[in-house]
Chain A
Amino acid sequence: MMLHYFLRRTFLIGFVFVALTVLAFSLSYLFPGDVLTNVSGLTNIQPEQQQALIEYYALDQSLIQQYIAYVNRILDGEWGLSFSSQQPVLSEIIAVFPATLELASYALILSFVLGIPLGLFAAVKADSFFGQLISGITLIAYSIPIFWWALLLIMLFSLTLGVLPTAGRINVLFDIPTTTGFMLPDIWLSDIRYKSEATQDALRHLLLPAVVLATFPTTVMIRFTRDSMLAVLEQSYIKTARAKGLSRAQVLYHHGLRNALLPVIRQIGLQFSTLITLAMITEVIFSWPGIGQWLLDSIYQRNYPAIQGGLLVVSCLVIVVNMLTEILHTLFNPLARKA
């Protein structure tokens, strides 16, 4: 039964990948300019190179064959050159992508750590002052445009109080060699003498962007946990459990939370694309050198090979995360498997 389900999912994901690569492939033709330039990323093609390049990129063959050649190149890791730097697009993506993942995952963790307990609290004490307060603040935070919120925090903590930096991942004077591309692991893996200072500095740089980016998913998490918990608490099996003599905490934990969190897991997948979009905005505001800022720069520079590659990576990430949460949801919820 489970195996069948996984096969179906894998099949579906395969189709989505095909659709995505078709879209990315067609962009070479849809973007203005010369197709060969868009495909290869070479801005300065000499006439004597032209023929060899056309053959290499299979541009003289049918569209289907070109597409197959394109997919082969993607799988081989040959994604063309960036117009602006004339460096391979894939290596640029590999350089910036970890920064985005790092920021997004810290924000996601933050939203779990804050969102679920607060949501539970708001559900259990729905009528108390604090319950109302949480719901109220959540509504406000949910409605705040993220760029405005980020600027407010910068104005307060950086410009007025002067306690937190405004931009970047770490003070640029710290010379941290890149091994994984993730800042904190890189600091711990490096052999510099000032690890604790560097860690502290990196955390100070991380704090504002992570809080800003976590704001939206936290509010979603609170609202979802609260609603779902309230719905679960209405169920008759909760009343039965209480009637059997289980303590309030036991009921909440064993019968309430497990059932209430199921829809929340699904929600993560659904919110992930929003999270990535917000991460791009956050990156631009805090000069966080991630894929969002890189992609926006590429769009501004009309850097077509980079736009193609960036879109492919970002959409693949969103789909994979969606799939994973879906599978997780199914694993935890026998009802969903049958449907």
Chain B
Amino acid sequence: MIKALLSLMVPCGSVLILSACQPDIPETIQQGMVYCAEGSPESFNPQRVTSGTTIDAISQQLYDRLLDIDPATGELLPALATQWRLSEDGRTYWFTLRPDVQFHHTAFFSPGRTLNANDVTFTFNRILQTDHPYHQVGGANYPYFQSVDWGSLVKAVVAENSTTIRFELTRPDSSFLSNLATDFAAILSAEYAEQLMQLGRPELLDQRPIGTGPFFFKEYKKDQFIRYYRHPEYWRGKTELTQLVFDLVPDNAKRMAKLLTHECDVVAYPRNAELKLITERPDVEVQSQTSMNVGFWAFNTKKAPFDNVLVRKALAYAINKDAILDAVYFGYADKAKTLLPPTSWAFYHDLPEQQYDPVKAKELLAQAGYPKGFRMDIWAMPVQRLYNPNALKMAELMQADLAKIGVRASVVSFEWNSFRRKLSEYEHDSVLIGWAADNADPDNFFRPLLSCSAAESGSNRANWCDPNFDTLINQALLTADIKQRRSFYLTAQLYIDEQMPLVSIAHSKRFQAKSVKITGVTINPYGGISMAAARKSL
């Protein structure tokens, strides 16, 4: 009896193991790619988010924009708009749309027409017109456009005919075109929106997306995966990949393990600590890209004692950035002097570097009236981000630095979505977070991060609203002359250095690890990753 059972079990086990050795994957699966991402998307509409994780997952895959940014030069390229022109006073833009652009045909929507000017006006009027039927859907939250103050900039978006759109601005704005080329300015389908409105389910517009991009949406299992199939009628020509799956693996070690077992073809954000280990493997390739980003430590400037500039400066002097760069970035980053990375044309090369000087820090604290220091919280984001691969470790290092000047810091962290919500409600004392640029314009670093409108929309982590600073960055936009703009931005950088609403820490390189079988997936320095050109060799 026992022998019989055992003899039953043995072949069963060996069959399993044998079959495990030779996975026989059918052809339809072979041209599919698995991208292992570090987190779940918050929405499927780029207008509604700023998080890089969400943008990576949705923007370039599902949608197109009027304009694109050349990743190599930062120049603007035609995309859905084939040409554009500007009126002499700099306040009106005309765009001509590309003909015969097809929207996705999915299980839940069959497009009745190709892209036309109504889709563009719908997309932007949803953001701009507060009485638009879609404006309030999902809470009237358009963080990127609010942070660049589009509401007061764009007066009207008008369809002149089916292929021409006119944007009327209230003032000249040299960053306008760059903003249209960001991942957030994705063009939605007005026809689909209308259908959903008739069904009484307008909220689905942001959950079951329809776009013109290289892939269409199949399904999303929360915290598990997103499945896309290729768009057979994509206007740039259909992609090599037949299927694209975003496998959501928040755990860094698990993502690495899945790369090594070939469960992932491409892995976002490999841990800096493991880069050396994986570059030695023949089946894995590591790509890096100097990226437009900055990791910083922002103070809640509306809260005491951080409303005192002396305190902020003292804290800046107390931090040993070199130690942080070694321990947190493993040397794969440049030390930051200011918000702008050195590759930006507006970077202030002669700005004096912030020194590590605990003695000076103590003096400043005493001057500010805190000779014995104080207690504070450092909020450390729970996820790995390009600009800060390990905020918790960074916070612990800073905790030790701060203890030397008598400031007793505690490290606070929450789950990422709650963390962001509480931040935008300004519950924090100070936070370790950062920013990755969406376009090449320097305005993209200042306005979304430190302007008054950003403070209102909740994306200004320093809760800092300074009219002087706002005037500087606004003036920089009124002119298209690069020299003039540059001088405004230099002054702005100097002003940030004086006021210290945040301490810039590092500009990190972005890494991505991929199987050698995959080609055509490159990191875009100006925003979300694109899989349109990806290929898989067998």
Contacts and interface: CB of A to CB of B under 8 A. Distances in A.
Contacts of A76: none
A174 B414 CA distance: 34
Q: How large is the interface on A (under 10, 10 to 19, 20 to 34, 35 or more residues)?
A: 35 or more
B249 A287 contact: yes
A173 B32 contact: yes
Contacts of B34: 172-173
B17 A163 contact: yes
Interface in A194-211: 194, 197, 200-201, 203-204, 207
B24 A200 contact: yes
B245 A173 contact: yes
Contacts of A294: 223
B26 A197 contact: yes
A69 to B, nearest CB: 27
Contacts of A166: 254, 257-258, 261, 263
A194 B257 contact: no
Contact of A173 (B6, B29, B249, B257): B29
Interface in B219-269: 221-225, 227, 243, 245, 247, 249, 251, 254, 257-258, 260-263
A158 interface: yes
Interface in A119-166: 120-121, 154, 158-159, 162-166
A180 interface: no
A302 B413 CA distance: 12
A13 B249 CA distance: 40
B249 A167 contact: yes
Contacts of A172: 34, 225, 227, 245, 247
A184 to B, nearest CB: 14
Interface in A267-323: 287, 289, 294, 297, 300-302
A44 B139 CA distance: 9
Interface string B416-447: 01100000000000000000000000000000
Given A197-B24, A200-B23, A289-B224, A207 B5 contact: no
B538 interface: no
Interface in A58-89: 84-85, 87
A204 B19 contact: yes
A158 B225 contact: no
A302 B2 CA distance: 50
Q: Which label, helix, strand, loop or mixed, suits the secondary structure of the B interface?
A: mixed
B28 interface: yes
B261 A159 contact: yes
A85 B23 contact: no
Contact of A302 (B29, B32, B418): B418
Nearest to A83: B418
Contacts of A87: 222
Contacts of B223: 289, 294, 297
A193 interface: yes
A117 interface: yes
Nearest to A301: B415
Q: Which of A92, A172, A174, A193 counts the most B-chain CB atoms under 10 A from its CB? A: A172
Contacts of B9: 113-114
B304 interface: no
Contacts of B26: 193-194, 197
B16 interface: yes
A98 interface: no
A301 B413 CA distance: 11
A87 B21 CA distance: 41
Interface in B244-303: 245, 247, 249, 251, 254, 257-258, 260-263
B39 to A, nearest CB: 12
Contact of A167 (B16, B263, B418): B263
Contacts of B251: 287
Contacts, number: 105
Interface string B163-192: 000000000000000000000000000000
A84 B419 CA distance: 12
B535 to A, nearest CB: 16
Nearest to A298: B415
A171 interface: yes
Contacts of B225: 172
B218 interface: yes
Contacts of B16: 203-204, 207
A194 B263 contact: no
A289 B221 contact: yes
A1 interface: no
A169 to B, nearest CB: 9
Nearest to A200: B19
Contact of A121 (B2, B17, B263): B2
B1 interface: yes
Contacts of B20: 163-164, 204, 207
Nearest to A169: B224
Nearest to A257: B1
A175 B227 contact: yes
Nearest to A207: B16
A120 B20 CA distance: 31
B218 A300 contact: no
Interface string B1-42: 110011001000000110111011110110010100000000
A117 B2 contact: yes
A309 to B, nearest CB: 15
Contacts of B25: 171, 173, 197, 201
Contacts of B1: 249, 253
A44 B417 CA distance: 15
A166 B259 CA distance: 10
A92 B16 CA distance: 32
Contacts of B19: 200, 203-204
A305 B19 CA distance: 43
Contact of A159 (B5, B139, B243, B260): B260
A117 B5 contact: yes
B243 A167 contact: no
Q: 9 nearest interchain CB pairs?
A: A194-B26, A173-B32, A301-B415, A172-B245, A173-B29, A163-B20, A166-B257, A172-B225, A117-B5
18 contacts: A117-B2, A162-B262, A164-B20, A165-B258, A166-B257, A166-B263, A167-B258, A168-B224, A175-B218, A193-B28, A197-B24, A200-B19, A200-B24, A201-B25, A207-B16, A287-B251, A287-B254, A297-B223
Interface of A: 44, 84-85, 87, 92, 95, 113-114, 117, 120-121, 154, 158-159, 162-168, 171-175, 193-194, 197, 200-201, 203-204, 207, 249, 253, 287, 289, 294, 297, 300-302
Given A162-B260, A201-B23, A289-B224, 14 more contacts: A87-B222, A121-B2, A162-B262, A168-B263, A194-B29, A197-B25, A197-B26, A203-B16, A204-B19, A207-B16, A253-B1, A287-B251, A287-B254, A300-B415
